Structure 1
Amino acid sequence: MDALEGVLESLLISYQYEALMKTLVIVLDYPDRAAGADRAFLRLRFISVSDFHRVPGTFADLQRFKESYSTRETPATTVVQRVDIEKKANSLRITLSFGSFGELTFECRSLSAESRSARATKTSENTWTYHDVDDGKPVDFYNPFA
């Protein structure tokens, strides 16, 4: 649950719900960066997910996203605006609200988190490249944990 602390105002990069695997993976651009990093990516993996719902928001172009989303597919910027967590006997009931994008609501038994820090280099007016702070390897902004 500590992994969800501080995700407010994080940019939603992607999510993928796998009903058969009962997993939900959410990737965020996290605002709390390590020293020397321009980007801090956070991957949240929710395990034993049930009762998953994508509640559509008011922005019509974003209502098409159901069980998966990638910011690569839309020019819209979506950030975490609210996190609600209800502790149950053996699970957590979580609601992540993204303003006009809508919400993701689900139950899970556990979650894990992984982070990756990157440096950014502007290569042209609207183009940036990213490299891992630790090993210097290229990082795909839209899939930073590939």
Structure 2
Amino acid sequence: MYGYKAYPSDKEIAMAAEALVAKHPCLKEAGSETGWNGWKNSIKFKMGNYRNKMRRAGCQEVTVNAGKRSRSNPENEPSRSNIKRPKRAEVNFLPNFPQGKDLSSLEQLRQTIVEEVKKTEKNLPLIRKMMETTFPLMPDRT
């Protein structure tokens, strides 16, 4: 589920829990109305814990929502709830740089794309590959 969306809605989590019980009927809960309410709750907590692990690992998509100010740590950053989350149909809000690439190498690759596009005989597969590589090079990062 995390590969699809870092912050799924309640309805999407319910659909995942329902699909889990439909696929594996032995997991159906005897005492609940729907048979999957407990699984829905478990998936919610699992997603929160996974986002926390990804935040600690440095994943930019969830790091932008981090911030844990408390009474014991008043100098920490404030909580940033409900901001900078992906919009509808937007999978990655702020993708990480490809492994082994940094801002300067992606900028050089962008310049190569500009030169390749100016040619009369364009190598379209090469341009597409370079554009996919430079996708994380967004204007707000520079």
By percentage of residues, which structure has more strand?
1
| Higher relative contact order structure (alpha carbons within 8 Å, sequence separation ≥ 6) | 1
Return the structure number with greater helix share.
2
Q: TM-score, normalised by structure 1?
A: 0.24
